[in-house]
Every structure is written in structure tokens, then in C-alpha cells.
């Protein structure tokens, strides 16, 4: 019994030290919802009211940089789906691609990355443009940044997305009325069936159990008519190419209101332990 206690203490101390070194990575408690969400891009469903907003996104490549255009998100879940809502300030909403799996990152786009175990053995990427054009894929080991294969032909069969624009949607031409006016922003709603995450879930339970923690991040490309694009993300990163570095993703803990759960601290300890391959460093 003493040895077990010592192991737990060592695990906690090691994880605490690791967490301290990684404290720039953000944490979010995603509540389970019971009421349905209609995926229409309008964030007025009663279920969203009880879901907290994340902190505002951070400028890409920094730990504290404040983007010129603000973005924040909500994450929720139920027995069937993982839900994402994003609200993005945008004075120049534009995109021109219309084909599924187009190069959406070359224009305005909102993105979600998921590596449930945070072990870089495989992760999912979802991009949605203001035209509601979707790029969905998964990447297996080695990482994309290391030349690993990207399975763009794969599709999340049950994925639902919708956008809502407050402004006019412009295309590539910067001289049209739609590009010259001033917009307000746009919003995204997304529902991803848990079954579609099985390709990268590893040993993680699907759907998650209350207290489970997954590694995730949500990002944004915001292009402007008169200046270069701005990249931002919810959980900041300390390395280049962090879009495709799961170790840089934030920690999302799934919680069930009114239910006794393990607690996010212990869930984070376990996630860190798994991410380190069962080692305390």
C-alpha cells in the first residue's frame, strides 16, 4: 500500500512539474448537454447558454499576443456528438472556394484539431470557411510537420457544420462592393459524431467518460484586404508549426453537471502521464 501511495505522489509531483513547465497550454471544462442543438450557425440554442466561452484566442507564435480580430469558442458534448461553436470578429469576411476539401486555409477559415491521447499517433483536422466549405482529414504518424501522410480523402460521415455571417461575403477580388464594405463577423456551429473520432482515439473511451481529458485546439486564419493575414489559436503554442504538433494542443476535460467525476486535475494528470508514454520526467 505504501508503494502505491509513493507512486501516486511521484506521479502527481512529476505531472505537477510538467504542468508547470507547460502552463501556457490552456484548459477548458466542456459540459455535457441534455437539450438538442440545431446546427444552423446561430448560437441561440438554449443548451449553449450553459456552456462557457473559452478565453479569447492568442496570436499564433506567441504566448500572450492579442490578435487584431477577437475570436472565442464553446465546446460541449452529449452521448452522440462533440459540439463546437466559434464567434469571430471580422471586418472583411471572404472566401471563394466551393469544393469540399479545397485549400480552405488560403482564405478566411475556422479550424479544430483533435488528438484524444495527445500522443501524436494520429490527429484529426477540420476546417470550415465562411461559405461553409469543409476540409476534413486525419494525419497518422509521423506528424504532418515531419512529412507524415495526410488522409484528405477520408470524410467524417456524420459531420454537421453551419455558418452565420453578419456582413457580406466577398470573393477573391478586392475591388468588389462586398470586399470594400465593413463587416461585423461570423459564427460557426459544428457537430462531430463520436464514432468518427474512432480512427484516432486509441485507448480513449468513446464517447468520453466524465473526467476524461482530450488534447484539442481551435484555430483561425483571418485574411484582410489591406494587410497580411493573421493567425490565432485558443491554446497558445511555443513552437513553430504548432497547428500540427499535438503536444501543443490545449486540455479539454469532459464534465457532466451534477455528476460526481474524477475532477479535471486528476484527469489532467492521467493525460500528461499518457502523453509522456507512462514516464514521469
pLDDT single digits (tens) 109-135: 999 999 998 887 789 999 999 999 999
Q: Which residue has the cell 469540399?
A: 100
pLDDT tens per residue, range 9-28: 444 444 444 444 557 899 99
Distance of alpha carbon 201 from alpha carbon 114, whole angstroms: 9
Contact (CB, 8 A) for 86 and 71: yes
Cell of 209: 467518460
* pLDDT confidence tier of residue 231, bands split at 50, 70 and 90: very high
DSSP H helices in 22-50: 46-49
Distance of alpha carbon 22 from alpha carbon 15, whole angstroms: 10
Contact (CB, 8 A) for 204 and 117: yes
pLDDT tens per residue, range 174-195: 999 999 999 999 999 999 999 9
Give CA separation, 57 vs 36, 37, 96, 177, 190, in Å.
Answer: 27, 24, 25, 29, 18
Q: Which domains does the chain have, with CATH numbers?
A: 27-275 (2.60.40.1190)
Q: Is 159 helix (H, G, I), strand (E, B) or coil?
A: coil
Global pTM value: 0.83
Amino acid at each position: 500500500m505504501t508503494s502505491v501511495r509513493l507512486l501516486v505522489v511521484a506521479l502527481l509531483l512529476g505531472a505537477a512539474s510538467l504542468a508547470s513547465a507547460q502552463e501556457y497550454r490552456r484548459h477548458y471544462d466542456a459540459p455535457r448537454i441534455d437539450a438538442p442543438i440545431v446546427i444552423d450557425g446561430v448560437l441561440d440554442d438554449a443548451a449553449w447558454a450553459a456552456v462557457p466561452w473559452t478565453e479569447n484566442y492568442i496570436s499564433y507564435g506567441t504566448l500572450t499576443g492579442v490578435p487584431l480580430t477577437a475570436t472565442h469558442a464553446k465546446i460541449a458534448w452529449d452521448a452522440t456528438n462533440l459540439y463546437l461553436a466559434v464567434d469571430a470578429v471580422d471586418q472583411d469576411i471572404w472566401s471563394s472556394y466551393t469544393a469540399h476539401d479545397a485549400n480552405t486555409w488560403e482564405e478566411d477559415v475556422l479550424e479544430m484539431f483533435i488528438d484524444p491521447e495527445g500522443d501524436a499517433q494520429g490527429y484529426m483536422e477540420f476546417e470550415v470557411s465562411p461559405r461553409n466549405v469543409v476540409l476534413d482529414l486525419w494525419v497518422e504518424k509521423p506528424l504532418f510537420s515531419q512529412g507524415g501522410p495526410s488522409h484528405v480523402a477520408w470524410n467524417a460521415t456524420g459531420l454537421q457544420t453551419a455558418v452565420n455571417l453578419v456582413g457580406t461575403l466577398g470573393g477573391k477580388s478586392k475591388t468588389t462592393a462586398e470586399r470594400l464594405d465593413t463587416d461585423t463577423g461570423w459564427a460557426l456551429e459544428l457537430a462531430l459524431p463520436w464514432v468518427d473520432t474512432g480512427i484516432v482515439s486509441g485507448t480513449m473511451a468513446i464517447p468520453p467518460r466524465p473526467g476524461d481529458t482530450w488534447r484539442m485546439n481551435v484555430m483561425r486564419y483571418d485574411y484582410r484586404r489591406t494587410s497580411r493575414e493573421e493567425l490565432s489559436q485558443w491554446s497558445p503554442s511555443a513552437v513553430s508549426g504548432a497547428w500540427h504538433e499535438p503536444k501543443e494542443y490545449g486540455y479539454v476535460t469532459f464534465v457532466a453537471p451534477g455528476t460526481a467525476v474524477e475532477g479535471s486535475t486528476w484527469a489532467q494528470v492521467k493525460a500528461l502521464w499518457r502523453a509522456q508514454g507512462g514516464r514521469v520526467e
